[in-house]
Structure 1
Amino acid sequence: MTDSTAQTLVTVSAQHARQRPGHPAVVCEGRVTTYAELHRESNRTAHALLAAGLGRGSRVAYLGKESEHYYEIALGCAKAGAVLVPVNWRLTSGEAEHILRDSGAELLLVEEAFRPLVDRIRADLPSLRTVVALAAPGPAGGGQRTWHADRPDTDLDPGTGSHDAVLQIYTSGTTGAPKGVVLAHRSFFTLPEAMRRSGQDWIDWLPEDVNLISLPGFSIAGMGWFMHGFAAGGTNVVMRMFVSEEAVRLIEAHRVTTTFAAPAMLQMMIEEPGVTPETFRSLRKVAYGAAPISESLLKRCLDMLGCEFAQIYASTETGTVAVCLPPEDHYPGSPVLGSAGKACPGHQLKIVDGEGRTLPPGEIGQVCVFTPARMLSYHQLPEATAETLVGLWLHLGDAGYLTEDGYLFLCDRINDTIIAAGQNIYPAEIEKALGEHPAVAEVAALGVPDELWGDAVLACVVLRPGQQAGPRELLRFLSGRLADYKAPSRWEFVDSIPRNPTGKILRRVLRERHLADRAAVPAQV
């Protein structure tokens, strides 16, 4: 299905190059790329991709950190009709191999720092025809520009429309096997348009905004926030990776007006030495997600940042923000501060039971979202797609309920996903890795509340008779098998793992035991 008259990343890039050619589009480590330059360089990238034999529907992978070059590559893929597959640079070689193999990526652009990882797995990737090593961006160049230097910068028309695929971001299911979520151009345009039509400004992106991109571009949070700012024609200040001290410096130096962050990131920024409300005087709106904000942290943020706040609820499958707790609900004592918010304009929410029947307000069930930005599919997984995308509704992994006035309160995650500092972590991945240790008989991984990160990873381990192993040894064992951020930070050694009659781990029981044990420990004075 193609609608060539609707907005796409291709048409918007050309539009900005004509209408605001000298306006800064991307600022990274002091380097400024205007909209005219962004358009020309992404055109050259597209011509280079076509010359390499890629075209409409081809998968192009990127392994590296964020920079102006990363977004030139993203737009270049769109202009060639290809689909960008970003690879999380924090993954192990085995995890990265799965994504490259499953996606069928034919070309990989990789920053030199991550080339050794690719060299280890290249032989096992038959579809990967070309690997392009990119020097890290710097004053002397780098990025993909040397690779495409001899290519023309003329405009291209790949014949794609708003419903065509442009991005494939990998997430995971309850089995722990990463799934490629295929998103269309429309994912980056439907929400701002719906907000404008409704006259709402819960979250918005303006041409005059200076937008700090502090979340990684391999996630929908980072990529989506950039693309919304890009679509509006604003200036995007891109961090290669989040460091709170640097984030504060960038906000002050570039007079940043808006950003998106996890509550833990906000806490780190307001606790940086020497910051005052004057440091953040340019901010007009901050969006946060991945976890609700505590009332105490909200008050501190309101006092220090002095701007509007909006909580957002989304998933890779929704393609963009689906639910928002608007600024007017952010005040100490707000009765809905613990909620995820209300359905955004143009979106709908419902709660269903196990049979798919819609439940009335107050009853807990599965959260379902209607959003015009929704995913096209899981890549080559028709059964998983049919389970999640039922008609026009996304059936998400969260359990919750709606109030009479439409606020969504989340109660638990149906798929047991752990969300630590905005990163999705899946128990099955941890359990599989730990289960390979010779001293481990059984293991259950789960998320438990953490004031700073939202969730912490708890591993409940049953050791084999006569065997010994402590957290230090098990962490050493996980090194190289599991990305560092997925490793457990809390450990319990137990006699058995509670399971239901079909053998499924009862994580709720383990979580309740853990919280009860913590509550029973006297506070240290």
Structure 2
Amino acid sequence: MAEPSAPGTPGERLHHPQPTTLVETARLHARHRPDATAVVCEDRAVTYAQLHRESNRIAHALRAAGAVPGARVAYLGKESEDYYAILFACAKSGTVLVPVNWRLTAPEVSHILRDSGSAVLFLEEEFAPVLDRLPDGPPKTVVRLGATDGFGAWKADRPDTDPAVPATPDTPVAQLYTSGTTGLPKGVVLAHRSFFAIRDALASENLDWIDWRDGDIALVGIPGFHVGGLWWATQNFNAGATVAVLRAFAPRDAIDLIRGKGVTTACVVPAMLRMMLAEPGVTPADFTTLRKIVYGGSPISEALLEASLALFGGEFAQIYGLTETGNTAVCLPPADHVPGHPRMKAAGHPYPGVGCKVVDGDGKELPPGTVGEICLATPARMVEYWGLPDRTAETLVDGWIHTGDAGYVDDDGYVFIQDRIKDAILVAGENVYPAEIENALEGHPGVAEAVIVGAPDERWGERVHAFVVPAAGRRPTPRELHRFLVDRLASFKLPARYEFIEHVPRNPSGKILRRELRERFWTGTDRKVN
């Protein structure tokens, strides 16, 4: 096992050769920095040479299992050195990694496995009980990580030579599932270029809004099934930095990792900053090595920013984007993180080479300062929604991603988010869509109709609020409804509060007036997102 790079001493900005695919990333660093630490997880460290050889073995084993180029390979588990070895193995074998949110219920997991047509499932032993509850059964090949006769035996006899399956920047490499207005998650297909385009954009203008330096040790606070977590990890692998892995975020564990390993950069959501701030006994001395925090998933409040600047020190950069844009397309640079400055309410400025426009309901571009739907044109954008050409055509129009976010662009090109068009609720950086929860709730015999909205929440950004019309002669309790949903929906989708109403407000054409129900929670705020 390798020793991590010297803590807290990041060097100059990188000048060594830059890869253009994840296949090249693995080869490059195995050749030029074989003994440098690639991954630190708990008490284990893996070098770039070890990561390269291990991913080669897995790639050969995938091919032997019948996973041809283009086949989908699912992973259900938490982050570890194994997860990243599997990521690179998929890249090298030409297969597509499908990370599955381990917080999902068995029916939700089953939909992703069925929709993706995953040929192989890598399954951490902690989540093995889900196999027996999958309505459609598991994929043909299940490789159990942590089982005595599982992962190690499956790849034991495979060579550690490079499989040499060709890959280009446009070759699909990951498929991430994001909820939608229909209630069924959609598979967003991302190519290798999604994990390189923004790095190249920053380098083209010599910008250090987000930068990677020799000797960096990067904390990945966002889960790897989320585009933010996967993107941040790959950026640091591409740069040859050390990726410090939390199996799952807990504030004390994150603080101990930052201090103990000398973490220099981190990517988190604002709720994680708030949790670390609230941890008993935490002081600025815990974060002396931390030079930059990248955060996204939701805006940061001025009060949280001021407290974070005082405790963490270093620089802050906000990123905004979608899974469909390949993660970040807009950045609020460190120089704009000035408490009280009007730009603190902005999502940021598009990167060089990223287009931004605001359109009305007919697709007509609007002038600066006018609120409409934000559209982004980025070289990191998705390939497609897997198996959904009509939905792809709705979202990706002439190279522009229609975000579903309402906002405006000012005269200096800064993007301001005001509201959401597609009703998404952001719970600790996770997109939650009302339709999925409403459909589940209306399966309860005591519910005639349900409407879900987002309400502001100090800790999580937003919370799920359920309006429920009881069925005739029935009056379910919130406890009954919670118990009904707990096996059907992931915990972050569960309503925090239930409110019983006699009828759902509708306009003359019968459309639910969701904004009317939502409005009272946001009265007095200058934007309808938190």
In structure 2, the partner of 1:282 is: 289
Structure 2 Cα separation of the partners of residues 479 and 268 of structure 1: 25
In structure 1, the partner of 2:10 is: none
1:133 counterpart (121, 135, 144): 144
1:24 counterpart (37, 44, 51): 37
> Could you tell me whether the CA contact under 8 Å between 1:17 and 1:36 is conserved in 2?
yes
Structure 2 Cα separation of the partners of residues 439 and 162 of structure 1: 52
Q: Once the 2 structures are TM-superposed, how far is the Cα of residue 207 of structure 1 from its aligned partner?
A: 3.0
Structure 2 Cα separation of the partners of residues 446 and 206 of structure 1: 42
Map 1:259-408 → 2, pairs under 5 A:
259-408=266-415
In structure 2, the partner of 1:199 is: 206
In structure 2, the partner of 1:231 is: 238
In structure 2, the partner of 1:414 is: 421
In structure 2, the partner of 1:102 is: 115
In structure 2, the partner of 1:114 is: 127
> Could you tell me whether the CA contact under 8 Å between 2:19 and 2:238 is conserved in 1?
no
Q: Aligned AA for 2:32?
A: Q
2:221 counterpart (207, 214, 221): 214
In structure 1, the partner of 2:11 is: none
Whether 1:46 and 2:53 are equivalent positions in the alignment is no
> Could you tell me whether the CA contact under 8 Å between 1:290 and 1:454 is conserved in 2?
no
String of CA shifts for 1:149-172, please: whole Å, max 9, x gaps. 111000121112110100000012
Structure 2 Cα separation of the partners of residues 516 and 189 of structure 1: 41
String of CA shifts for 1:365-386, please: whole Å, max 9, x gaps. 1110011000000001110011
1:243 counterpart (250, 260, 273): 250
* Identity rate, percent: 56
Q: Aligned AA for 1:17?
A: A
> Could you tell me whether the CA contact under 8 Å between 1:134 and 1:143 is conserved in 2?
yes
In structure 2, the partner of 1:87 is: 100
In structure 2, the partner of 1:178 is: 185
Whether 1:58 and 2:71 are equivalent positions in the alignment is yes
> Could you tell me whether the CA contact under 8 Å between 2:114 and 2:136 is conserved in 1?
no
Q: Once the 2 structures are TM-superposed, how far is the Cα of residue 147 of structure 1 from its aligned partner?
A: 2.1
In structure 2, the partner of 1:496 is: 503
In structure 2, the partner of 1:427 is: 434
Structure 2 Cα separation of the partners of residues 249 and 142 of structure 1: 33
Structure 1 Cα separation of the partners of residues 149 and 176 of structure 2: 25
- The more displaced of 498-507 and 325-334 is 498-507
Q: Once the 2 structures are TM-superposed, how far is the Cα of residue 193 of structure 1 from its aligned partner?
A: 1.3
> Could you tell me whether the CA contact under 8 Å between 1:134 and 1:142 is conserved in 2?
no
> Could you tell me whether the CA contact under 8 Å between 1:322 and 1:343 is conserved in 2?
yes
Structure 2 Cα separation of the partners of residues 217 and 435 of structure 1: 32
Secondary structure in 2 matching 1:351: strand
Q: Once the 2 structures are TM-superposed, how far is the Cα of residue 504 of structure 1 from its aligned partner?
A: 2.8
Distance 1:471 1:256, change over 3 A: same
> Could you tell me whether the CA contact under 8 Å between 2:131 and 2:137 is conserved in 1?
no
Secondary structure in 2 matching 1:360: coil
Structure 1 Cα separation of the partners of residues 426 and 254 of structure 2: 22
Q: Once the 2 structures are TM-superposed, how far is the Cα of residue 120 of structure 1 from its aligned partner?
A: 2.4
Distance 1:123 1:468, change over 3 A: closer
Q: Once the 2 structures are TM-superposed, how far is the Cα of residue 37 of structure 1 from its aligned partner?
A: 0.3
Q: Once the 2 structures are TM-superposed, how far is the Cα of residue 448 of structure 1 from its aligned partner?
A: 1.1
1:71 counterpart (84, 96, 100): 84
Q: Once the 2 structures are TM-superposed, how far is the Cα of residue 346 of structure 1 from its aligned partner?
A: 1.9
Q: Structure 1, unaligned stretches of length 5 or more?
A: 519-525
Q: Once the 2 structures are TM-superposed, how far is the Cα of residue 515 of structure 1 from its aligned partner?
A: 4.4
Q: Once the 2 structures are TM-superposed, how far is the Cα of residue 116 of structure 1 from its aligned partner?
A: 1.8
String of CA shifts for 1:73-131, please: whole Å, max 9, x gaps. 01001100000111111111111111000001111111112122123227546xx2211
Structure 2 Cα separation of the partners of residues 142 and 344 of structure 1: 48
Alignment length (residue pairs): 508
In structure 2, the partner of 1:523 is: none
Secondary structure in 2 matching 1:355: coil
Structure 2 Cα separation of the partners of residues 101 and 80 of structure 1: 21
Structure 2 Cα separation of the partners of residues 320 and 37 of structure 1: 28
Distance 1:206 1:459, change over 3 A: same
> Could you tell me whether the CA contact under 8 Å between 2:143 and 2:150 is conserved in 1?
no
Structure 1 Cα separation of the partners of residues 505 and 342 of structure 2: 36
Structure 2 Cα separation of the partners of residues 199 and 397 of structure 1: 31
> Could you tell me whether the CA contact under 8 Å between 1:69 and 1:143 is conserved in 2?
no
In structure 1, the partner of 2:470 is: 463
String of CA shifts for 1:380-428, please: whole Å, max 9, x gaps. 1110011111111111111111111111111111111111001111111
Q: Aligned AA for 2:283?
A: T
> Could you tell me whether the CA contact under 8 Å between 1:171 and 1:181 is conserved in 2?
yes
Q: Structure 2, unaligned stretches of length 5 or more?
A: 1-17, 526-530
> Could you tell me whether the CA contact under 8 Å between 2:189 and 2:382 is conserved in 1?
yes
RMSD: 1.7
